[in-house]
Amino acid sequence: MRLGRARMVFLSADPSAQVVGHTADLILEVDEAQDVLPEKFDKDFRPMGAAANATTVYYGTPWDGNSLLEQVKARHLELERRDGIRRHFEYDWGTVARYNPAYGR
């Protein structure tokens, strides 16, 4: 998807997806992060944002305590405890529904 000089690329995090070589300049968004294998993310996706220091945003629903989403949450909360810089932002469905009523239906 393009708008002017801006471009958005959607990639699959399926274990068999061939995504190496793409870059993220501003933001790397990981939707349904609870379903992305941490190894796949670390090997194929994390390097995409390294050159431009892109912000990575994870979306999802925690399930089992071991997902990529929960690993990142634990790491961010530990860093917050150390330096006081907020890195973890969490909102439940009720909060989202207050701002987007269609989400609550």
Maximum pairwise Cα distance, the chain? 41
pLDDT, mean of residues 5-13: 92
Domain that holds residue 43: 2-104
At residue 15, the pLDDT reads 97
Radius of gyration of the chain (CA): 15
Structurally, the chain folds into a number of domains equal to: 1
What is the value of pTM for the model shown?
Answer: 0.85
Q: Which of 38, 43, 41 is nearest to 28 (CA)?
A: 41
Per-residue pLDDT at 3 = 85
pLDDT computed for residue 5 by the predictor: 86
31-87 per-position pLDDT tens digit: 999 999 999 999 999 999 998 999 999 999 988 889 999 999 999 999 999 999 999
Q: How far apart are CA 45 and CA 11, in angstroms?
A: 10
Nearest to 21 by CA among 39, 44, 50: 44
**66 and 36 Cβ atoms separated by less than 8 Å:** no
Distance CA 63, CA 74 (A): 14
Angle at Cα 50 formed by Cα 75 and Cα 62, nearest 5°? 35
